[in-house]
Amino acid sequence: MHRVNLNQVTFNQQVYDHASFGIGLISPEGMVLTVNPAMEKMFGYTKEEFDSRPIGTFAHPDETDTDIAGLRSLMGDGDEVQIERRYLKKNGEIMWVLLSVKLFSDAAGKPLYYIAQMIDITKQKESERRLQESVERYTSLKKYNHDAVISFGLDGRIINTNKVTEELTGYVNETELIGMELANLIGQENVDKILEKSLYDNSIEHHIDKLFTKSGNAVEVLASIAPIFVSEQNIGFYLICKDISEQKKLLLAKEAAESTNKAKSEFLAMMSHEIRTPMNGVIGMTDILLDTPDLTEEQRNCIEVIRQSGETLLGIINDILDLSKIEAGRTELQEEPFDLRLCIKESFSVISGRAEEKKLALSYTLNHDVPDHIYGDPDRLKQVLINLLGNAVKFTPTGSISVKVEHARTKPDTLVFTVTDTGIGIDPKRLEDIFEPFAQIDSFMNRRHEGTGLGLAISRKLVQMMGGEIYAESDGSRGSSFIFTIGFKPASQLPEGHPTLELLQQNTVHTKILLAEDNPINRLVMSKMLEKLGHEVTVVTNGQEVIEEVSRKAYDIIFMDLHMPVLNGFEATRMLKESLKDKCPRIVAVTANALKGDREKCLEAGMDEYISKPVKRENVIKLLCQFAAV
């Protein structure tokens, strides 16, 4: 056996002793010579237990290429390899690690020793597993859809379909449809239009009115098209076809738009529930993990990346749902008196962090004749401002961003908002296109900025709801301005001052809470969140257990999931209200559904309030304070 002279080993001793990741010195024969304290902590073995044992000894039995010969073969002609592998801790737990192994040789090329570095990525792998579960749930939406759902790639070939497509076309999915040219079903001209224009022109789907079967017959259909994005890249499309061959022509003209919008809304509602449920676990658990003391900087950075990625995904989901609700006419303005300056300040606070990173100057001005308080929908106005300011920050490398508010010259009951930046500008030919759904200011293939392309489309529709219009101005190189108008009525002076979240939390009284949730991840997230806020929490898994628990013990508030086995949240609420009447605890509906009308249904069923997943800590605090004040 080749003996390694430790004096020949060159590495930073301070890094070796104090690194947060495991480091091991391996002999040319693959024997562990020594390890650092972090490696001992990761595996639970002492340094003596590691010594003179083959490195492959500690690997999971199902893994390959973990001994020194396998690792050397993976290096090929090089002297270093980096792979992901499973290992077993001393207590038997499985640990995923990112393994880096580097070979050190003498001047003659003879191996002297290897240095192995291991980083624990078990939590990252668990997040990937949860994401895969979300994908599988999403696949079930396609499987059980009542319409033909066809996914296809940018090459125009079918990737997959559902059972309804087989029944409608006569082709067999596994042997005939997968890999087939989509043109065989809808014609080459329609395929070309989808691939070239559907990202910014939603009228394309109206031209697809027939699906050709295996026997050559044409089936009349209503079509919807949705792009498929993976890692912010368009990899294909969904084609959703509803068979309308047996419907009368007169009914078709009247009901086409309504049927298509309803199908989209139902599809998006299902998507919302299936994706928001696991997202509640991802975002909630990362918030809890970030509150954990003694996290290393690397661990905190990893958790922060997961949290930010979850928030980004949730933002995309919310954008899609917002657009769907507005297009379906299911969004209404909630008008009230509000402080206009405070609305603008709160919009700035959302983007100030990103602006500060770029050292962008932020400012706003209100003309002297603009009232401090107006009557309107502050949340929708704020949504438009945040969309425009967010875009301005995204496309402004240096300089400034400003907001100006003034009266319209010819309409005294109209305010004009101008958001100006010193950014990259917009091609004058595209100043109208950018307000179309899924449009991007920079072209898709070379774009450098993330986003769904829905923000401006949503902003235009919201501004129109508020009685105004929106447009953009730019010469293509020296920044851009977005101008929009809203109708308004002056409002009386509002009381000054708004309580901060910290003050609300301090004023929250100790509360006995019953949590009814059948999803184990959501149970864990909600119970931990409520307990950290200082409340006493009891957990049950269905509506029947709620009834039984309330009969045994008095509670102040029940957080009630709507979709539970045995007895759902609506039925449990009805029974509690009938039996307890005025003595019934406050009931808060908790659900992943987030479409308009869901809150109203809950209140009509007797519930006192509604909160949607992912549940955020600040919303829970405000809700608890609201009930404490009653």
**pLDDT, tens digit (0-9, with 9 covering 90-100), for 558-578:** 999 988 889 999 999 999 999
Q: Residue 59 burial (CB < 10 Å; 0-12/13-18/19+)?
A: buried
pTM of the shown model? 0.42
Amino acid 409 reads R
Going across the sheet that includes 148-153, the strands are 158-161, 148-153, 233-243, 218-230, 210-212
438/125: higher pLDDT: 125
Closest CA to 395 of 369, 367, 365, 360: 360
Cα–Cα distance, 87 to 125 (Å, whole number)? 13
Residue 267 lies in a domain: no
Q: What is the per-residue pLDDT across 191-224, written as a single tens digit (0 to 9) for each?
A: 999 998 888 887 888 888 889 999 999 888 888 8
Question: Is the same domain home to 230 and 181?
Answer: yes
Contact 515, 559 (CB under 8 A): yes
- Any residues with CB less than 8 A from the CB of 581 and at least 6 apart, and which? none
Number of domains in the chain: 5
223/438: higher pLDDT: 223
Question: Is the same domain home to 596 and 505?
Answer: yes
158/131: higher pLDDT: 158
Residue 29 lies in a domain: yes
Question: Is the same domain home to 343 and 475?
Answer: yes
Distances (CA, A) of 214 to 171, 247, 453: 6, 22, 37
Contact 533, 508 (CB under 8 A): yes
Residue 411 lies in a domain: yes
Residue 299 DSSP symbol: H
Cα–Cα distance, 290 to 313 (Å, whole number)? 19
Q: Residue 381 has what pLDDT?
A: 92
Question: Is the same domain home to 376 and 481?
Answer: yes
Question: Is the same domain home to 476 and 390?
Answer: yes
Q: What is the per-residue pLDDT across 463-513, written as a single tens digit (0 to 9) for each?
A: 998 999 999 999 988 899 999 999 888 876 444 544 545 555 555 567 899
Q: Of 120, 148, 164, which marks where a domain is finished? A: 120
Give how far the C-alpha of residue 366 lies from the chain's centroid of Cα atoms, to the nearest Å: 35
Q: Which CATH number belongs to the domain containing residue 171 in this structure?
A: 3.30.450.20
Question: Is the same domain home to 322 and 447?
Answer: no
Closest CA to 518 of 540, 537, 547: 540
Contact 186, 213 (CB under 8 A): no
**Angle, vertex CA 241, rays to CA 238 and CA 245, nearest 5:** 170
Q: Residue 184 has what pLDDT?
A: 94
What whole-number percentage of the chain has pLDDT above 90? 33
> Which segment, 269-283, 426-440, 472-486, is predicted with the most confidence on average?
472-486
Residue 413 DSSP symbol: T
Residue 586 neighbours by CB distance under 10 Å: 19
167/310: higher pLDDT: 167
Residue 259 lies in a domain: no
**Over residues 76-83, mean pLDDT:** 90
Question: Is the same domain home to 380 and 470?
Answer: yes
State which H helix or E strand residue 373 sits in: strand 373-376
Q: What is the per-residue pLDDT across 286-308, written as a single tens digit (0 to 9) for each?
A: 877 877 778 888 888 888 778 76
329/624: higher pLDDT: 624
What stretches of 488-556 adopt beta strand conformation (E)?
Answer: 489-490, 512-516, 536-540
Q: Which CATH number belongs to the domain containing residue 401 in this structure?
A: 3.30.565.10
Tell me the pLDDT band of 446, cut-offs 50, 70 and 90. very low
- Any residues with CB less than 8 A from the CB of 344 and at least 6 apart, and which? 364, 385, 403, 405
Question: Is the same domain home to 573 and 603?
Answer: yes
Question: Is the same domain home to 425 and 535?
Answer: no
Residue 461 lies in a domain: yes
Domain hosting 392: range is 336-490
User: Over 90: is that where the pLDDT of 87 sits?
Assistant: yes
Contact 555, 511 (CB under 8 A): no
Cα–Cα distance, 56 to 85 (Å, whole number)? 11
Q: Residue 270 has what pLDDT?
A: 63
Residue located via tokens 């603008």: 344
Q: Of 62, 88, 120, which marks where a domain is finished? A: 120
Long-range CB contacts (< 8 A, 24+ apart) of 204-213?
A: 205/260, 208/239, 208/241, 210/186, 211/148, 211/168, 211/169, 211/185, 211/186, 211/241, 212/169, 212/184, 212/185, 212/186, 212/187, 213/168, 213/169, 213/170, 213/171
Question: Is the same domain home to 479 and 515?
Answer: no
Cα–Cα distance, 533 to 505 (Å, whole number)? 8
Q: Residue 444 has what pLDDT?
A: 37
Residue 318 lies in a domain: yes
First-residue to last-residue Cα distance in the chain: 79
Bridge partner residues of 95 (DSSP): 87
44/295: higher pLDDT: 44
Question: Is the same domain home to 69 and 215?
Answer: no
Question: Is the same domain home to 28 and 167?
Answer: no
Q: Residue 600 has what pLDDT?
A: 79
Residue 99 lies in a domain: yes
Cα–Cα distance, 575 to 578 (Å, whole number)? 5
Q: Of 442, 469, 490, which marks where a domain is finished? A: 490
521/341: higher pLDDT: 341
Tell me the pLDDT band of 447, cut-offs 50, 70 and 90. very low
Residue 86 lies in a domain: yes
Q: Is 277 helix (H, G, I), strand (E, B) or coil?
A: helix
**Range with lowest mean pLDDT among 238-247, 347-356, 447-456, 618-627:** 447-456
